[in-house]
Chains A and B, each alone.
Chain A
Amino acid sequence: MSLLAVNTVDRLDRPSAYYVGKNKRRRHEEEQRQHDPVDKLRNATTLYVGNLSFYTTEEQIHELFAKCGEIKRLVMGLDRFNKTPCGFCFVEYYTHQDALDCLKYVGGTKLDERIIRADLDPGFEEGRQYGRGKSGGQVRDEYREEYDPGRGGYGRAYDEQRQREEDEYGLGR
């Protein structure tokens, strides 16, 4: 392990641009807020894990993520309405170091033959296990125009629209 305070190449164990960006915008709205959102991750032991297949099981996730340390808790992301896995989860470790190692060594590698994404997370709270998309899944699965067999085919909103257009086309004739 390098002992330098500033490294000569970038580090992979930093919060993602998504996390920093999301919180920056929010901070803009609540200008009163004193705390740096990145500060909340100082001792974070939880990771948000994304781009999972809907069919990936807890056991598979466990098998891979335990390579970075003992897992304290695993919360599967569920569709808000049917309570079926919808392609993300939270993995909580006992130590901050294990979570950082997971970012470095597991984030961006494959699980169930998909490249998964890992991001440091301030901690799981009840309610966050559900998709926030209109139809119950994750927002990204609403409008996706590519077909992804591991995540329910086309985006749901996109698929509906496609279906509608097809039906209307038939009617018009």
Chain B
Amino acid sequence: MADYDRRPYDRPRGGGRKRRYRDDDDDDHRPQRRRYEEPLVVQVRRQLLTLAESAARRVEDDVQGIAKTVVDNYDDEELRETFTNISIDLVLEQPMKIPFVATTVLCAHDLKPELGTEVINKAGDALQKYIGSGSWREVKLLLRFLGVLQPAFEGEGIFPLLEELFSRAVDLQTASSEDLLGLELVKIILFTIPFVMLSPASGFDSQASALLEKTDVIASTPHPLVDLVNTFGPEDNQSPAGQSVISLLQTQLQGEASRGWELTCLPRPWKHLRDDETGEPRLLENVPKIAFPHVTVPNPVKNGARTLFPEVYLSVYADQEVDTVPSPSDIASSLLRDALVDTINLLSFNRVATAKFLIDVDCYFPPHIFVKRATPFDRMRELAPEDRAWKPEDVAVDAVFSQLFQLPAPEHKLVYYHSLLTECCKIAPAAIAPSLGRAIRFLYSSVETMDLELTYRFLDWFAHHLSNFGFTWKWSEWVDDLDLPIVHPKMAFIHGALDKEIRLSFAQRIKGTLPKAYQSLISEGKEKDTPEFKYLAEMTPYSKEGQEIMQLIRKKASDEEIQPIIVSIEEQAKDLGVEDPKVPSTDALVTSICFVGSKSLSHVLSCIERNKERLLFIGQESPRARCQIITSVMEYWTDQPGIAINIVDKLLNYTILSPLSVLEWALSESMEAGTILAKTHIFEIITATVGKVTNRMRQIVAARTQPTLYEPQLSVLDETLSRERSDMQALFKFIEDSIVSVAAGSNDEQMERGDGSGDLPEDAIIRQWGRRWLRVFRRKAAVEDSFITDALANATAVGTVAPPSAESDMPDAPADAGADGDLDVADA
């Protein structure tokens, strides 16, 4: 029996749980598994990384435990370094943990000032580095960390540095009223103050008030660009948005100062520390004092890689009968949002971990500010006023939406924020899904007034999100809106969303998810895989020739074989008095290509490839015929605009179409009295086309501003840049000129509609579309223009010749940077 008992320990275990590979063979008899003793450094590392993550543990115990372990083993250099490095890494990557990490460091500092000094100096070095490189978010986070450590500093601690940053801000603001870097510095100062005042240190009220008094002028003056990035247009300004983050924060801080810095929304982990031996409360106010790390602020300061824009505060939960998120008058709205947004943007490389942090938001703030997770909205209504608290899911989701709807662009690709919301929904469906539902209702109710670009982002997210959750949505609640005119923004949204859903799935599937009233929106044509070829109908002009061309393209016939039929169409057209005979012949050719290539994108691409020369020639010969290429594609795929957009995009890459021709097609040929502006896929195609041009422009700017670029390449690139820049400006001017008349109601076609009074109910809607389009493209033009101007401000001047040493060091350096000044659009 004893033998039997021992058996499992003699043999290698593992029982096939893990596959074994040849690597294992050299050591056939694996030693028995011993009880694994975690090395101290691994243990501390894990404890520190997961600090405050568990609601089941008292964070105060961990804070004290970690500090004590590291102090007790102060001679262990690896342990000390791990503690220092991870503390600072956490500050820079998981900002919600800063108060907890800082408390741990304060505890350690209290027990062993050498250890605290080491961490503080390391933080000072990092701060110096990031101030130098203009990485302002990192600066903000390190200042927050050092702000909580205020009791460890002699004299005024962090304040002299804040004062110095403020004086830089003043210089920048004085130099230019459009300055944004100075505003950013003030924002950083404002976001630091509450943490200093929160810290165990006391007696700094006068310094804080003095600073706040000074920042007031800068923070409260609206920046000229705020209107450009506002969630809502100027005419439709609504309460939930419009205030800039910085002016809001200034007001909130002043309120907080007048209430003696209650700061009820922030955690104070040091409040509940107890001495291990005596059990007495342990106060960290009187820890040993050291000098604040020496940091030089360059003069003038510079901005890092991220372009700055004013930020406005947006909440999708602002208009509810019961508050589920802090109101903009409460400082919690800014402090919670800031910590969450930084977490979201810093951890973009792991959406699963980020989603977990968002769901666990209530672990990192005082417990009383939130209701229990997944508390239904209806129950929140019943809460007694003294039990009122915020809904953690709403606060978290709101922060993601604030990024998804950030203008002019969020830090990461939009799809990151989509995937983050999907992940949140996967981790805690019962808690998150209802929050998203309420957000969707708010956004849907705002589709008439919200910035058009944001409406489009909403639509794109909505369809993508549903595609991850079985396309289930309570469509029935919008049923009444189906009676609205087709150009109404709500109808445009519904049509656009369904089209996007179909693109990610297929028409029949989506039809199955819709209530009866919506069925007619999915036309028969949408359910067809291959749209009809119009030349098969004898009624169609040139039907015989159209069919012949189609057959030839299908047979992959040569250009010479196609040519006679093209000529035949053009001759007939001439006889019929068609103004440009190339138009009907192009229609037949392109429609045939679409039909033969209708099986898939690769099919149509190879058809285009085979007929590329002919298509290129059309564009050079006749602008009208070039326009017809787009018309034919859009008409053939009229029921599946996604495919048409894709094909047009590829035609642009082949330079068969020019960006301007796409704009001309949409905004002059097909304007249809402005009604085209209500179609979401038209907005999509124009945005994509403009995006192609601006992307290319940015690549040229990047090439032009390389620090190692010298003559003669410098001049070549500079010329390319000026040429392309004016092309781009011409493009924006064309959009402006085409739409401005629609917005004003003076478009010719518009005037001819109805009785010409411009009083048809739809006329007002169309004028509104015009204004919304203008706003979007004026913003894009301004953003691109300022990007180029800023980049060129620091670029090497034309005429600069390589210094002799550099020339001998790297003779080929500029050559691989597209020195011929021409980048292939297809590769752009």
Contacts and interface: CB of A to CB of B under 8 A. Distances in A.
A13 B349 CA distance: 7
Interface string A1-25: 1111011111111000000000001
Contact of A12 (B21, B23, B352, B602): B352
B89 A11 contact: no
Given A8-B93, A8-B94, A106-B415, A67 B350 contact: no
Interface string A91-121: 0001000000100111001111100000000
Interface residues of B, number: 46
Interface in B61-102: 86, 89-90, 92-94
Given A2-B349, A8-B49, A9-B350, A109 B422 contact: yes
A49 B311 CA distance: 38
A59 interface: yes
A29 to B, nearest CB: 9
A69 B413 CA distance: 9
Interface in B116-166: 130, 135, 138
Contacts of A109: 419, 422, 468
Contacts, number: 112
A73 to B, nearest CB: 9
Interface in B665-706: none
Contacts of B418: 67, 105
A68 B93 contact: no
Contacts of A6: 89
B819 interface: no
B21 A25 contact: yes
A106 B352 CA distance: 12
A98 B415 CA distance: 12
B350 A11 contact: yes
A68 B415 contact: yes
B514 interface: no
Contact of B348 (A10, A76, A104): A104
B35 interface: no
A34 interface: no
A63 interface: yes
B22 A28 contact: yes
Given A1-B412, A3-B135, A12-B352, A57 B600 contact: yes
Nearest to B603: A58
Contact of A64 (B94, B412, B504, B646): B504
A128 interface: no
Contacts of B347: 2, 9
B416 interface: yes
A4 B351 contact: no
B349 A11 contact: yes
A108 to B, nearest CB: 8
A113 B468 CA distance: 6
A58 B138 CA distance: 42
A60 interface: yes
Contact of A60 (B90, B419, B503): B503
A76 B413 CA distance: 25
A12 B211 CA distance: 42
Nearest to A60: B504
Contacts of A59: 503, 600-601, 642-643, 646
B415 A2 contact: no
B86 A58 contact: no
Interface string B335-346: 000000000011
- A4, A6, A25, A69 — most chain B CB neighbours (10 Å): A4
B245 to A, nearest CB: 20
A62 interface: yes
Contacts of B412: 1, 101
A75 B124 CA distance: 51
B41 interface: no
Nearest to A11: B349
Nearest to B642: A63
B507 to A, nearest CB: 12
B632 to A, nearest CB: 19
B278 to A, nearest CB: 35
Contacts of B21: 25, 28
A36 to B, nearest CB: 17
B377 to A, nearest CB: 27
A57 B93 CA distance: 39
B353 A9 contact: yes
Contact of A7 (B349, B351, B413, B827): B349
- B22, B23, B346, B413 — most chain A CB neighbours (10 Å): B413
Q: Is the interface of B mostly helix, strand, loop or mixed?
A: helix
B506 to A, nearest CB: 8
Contacts of A104: 348-351, 416, 419
B512 interface: no
Contacts of A60: 503-506
A94 B419 contact: no
Interface string B616-647: 00000000000000000000000000110010
A3 B138 contact: yes
A74 interface: yes
B23 A28 contact: yes
Interface in A97-150: 101, 104-106, 109-113
Contacts of B23: 28
B22 A10 contact: no
Contacts of B413: 67-69, 101, 105
A148 to B, nearest CB: 17
A7 B601 contact: no
A58 B601 CA distance: 7
Nearest to A63: B503
Nearest to B94: A8
- B345, B347, B419 — most chain A CB neighbours (10 Å): B419
Contacts of B467: 110-111, 113
Interface string B346-377: 11111111000000000000000000000000
Contacts of A76: 600, 602
A94 B601 CA distance: 18
A106 B504 contact: no
A64 B500 CA distance: 10
B352 to A, nearest CB: 7
Nearest to B137: A3
Contacts of A106: 415, 419
A1 B94 contact: no
A166 B433 CA distance: 46
Given A4-B93, A8-B49, A63 B348 contact: no
A67 B463 CA distance: 13
B46 to A, nearest CB: 11
B470 interface: yes
A7 B90 CA distance: 9
Contacts of B490: none
B349 A4 contact: no
Contacts of B601: 58-59, 62, 74
A94 B827 contact: yes
B608 to A, nearest CB: 14
B418 to A, nearest CB: 7
B164 to A, nearest CB: 23
Given A8-B49, A110-B467, A113-B470, 13 more contacts: A2-B92, A3-B130, A12-B349, A12-B351, A13-B349, A28-B23, A59-B643, A68-B413, A101-B416, A104-B419, A105-B415, A106-B415, A112-B505
> What 8 A-B pairs are tightest by C-beta distance, nearest first?
A67-B415, A9-B353, A105-B419, A11-B349, A63-B503, A110-B468, A58-B600, A105-B415
Interface of B: 21-23, 49, 86, 89-90, 92-94, 130, 135, 138, 345-353, 411-416, 418-419, 422, 464, 467-468, 470, 503-506, 600-602, 642-643, 646, 827
30 contacts: A2-B92, A2-B346, A4-B92, A4-B93, A7-B349, A7-B350, A8-B93, A9-B347, A10-B350, A10-B353, A12-B350, A57-B600, A59-B600, A59-B642, A59-B646, A60-B505, A63-B642, A64-B464, A64-B504, A68-B415, A74-B602, A76-B600, A76-B602, A94-B827, A104-B351, A105-B418, A105-B419, A109-B419, A109-B468, A113-B470
